[in-house]
Amino acid sequence: MTKGKEKDRVSSVIDKQEAGQKEDDMLAVSVDEEGESKTKDSDAKTDEPTKEESTKVKEEDEALEIRFLRLQADFDNFRKRVQRERGDWYQRGSEDFLTGVLPVLDHFELGLNTAKEHDADPSVLEGFELVYDQLLSLLKKFNVMAMDVEGQPFDPHLHEAMTYMPSEAYPVDVVVSQTRRGYTFKDKLLRPAQVIVSRGLEEDPAPNNETPLSKEKEEKKGD
């Protein structure tokens, strides 16, 4: 009988201890969960940028955008400059090449005219004329145009006066004939025409003893 009571008392003590342990465990879990919740709230508040940080980020973004726009404008200007310089190089190279070809064409034209004056064989003459026309057509494709200035008013910007002579057919300051043909390239003077200019009738000299040659020199000095 005594042993049974003792056993019941021990069992009761053990149950109370286990119950207390469970309460302590539940309290510890509650405390831990509360601490974790507070930690998360603290971290969330820390992740939110302050007003000063937001302003600083905005200013950095604006500075980067301005820098990007400037770099874009600089690159666009560089690209345009390169294209312009490339066009200038092409134009200058073409002018140099064509200027070298023109004397060859002059000699060909001179030989053709000489053959006509000496009654050359018609078939040979026809062949030379065909080649000459082909050369002019080729130059025309590259915007090189021959100037025909006979009978036109003398222009020192387009013509180079070699001499002047009295003429009954042409009035003063009109081109009587050309000794070397002039050419233009893309509406730009490639080579001026060398011409002989009319002085009018022998008894009617140019006013104030002026001649086309002197006028040409004066105008060039003015330019």
Q: What are the extents of the domains in the chain? A: 79-142, 144-223
Q: What are the CB-based long-range contacts (under 8 Å, 24+) for 42-47?
A: none
Q: Tell me which residue has tokens 């009295």.
A: 166
Q: What is the pLDDT, as a whole number, of residue 53?
A: 76
pLDDT at 58: 82
CA–CA dist 97, 210 (Å, integer): 38
pLDDT for 8: 57
Q: What is the DSSP letter of 204?
A: S
Contact indicator for 182, 192 with CB cutoff of 8 Å: yes
> Which stretches of the chain score pLDDT less than 50?
1, 3, 10, 29, 31, 44, 204, 206-207
Name residue 193's beta-bridge partners.
159
Q: What is the pLDDT of residue 166?
A: 92
pLDDT at 221: 57
Q: Which residues of 169-179 are buried (b: 16+ CB within 10 A; e: fewer)?
A: ebebbbbbebe
pLDDT on residue 25: 57
pLDDT at 32: 55
- Residue-wise pLDDT tens digits, 7-25: 555 466 556 556 655 555 5
- State if pTM tops 0.75: no
Query: pLDDT value at position 162?
Result: 93
CATH class in words for 144-223: mainly beta
pLDDT at residue number 216: 54
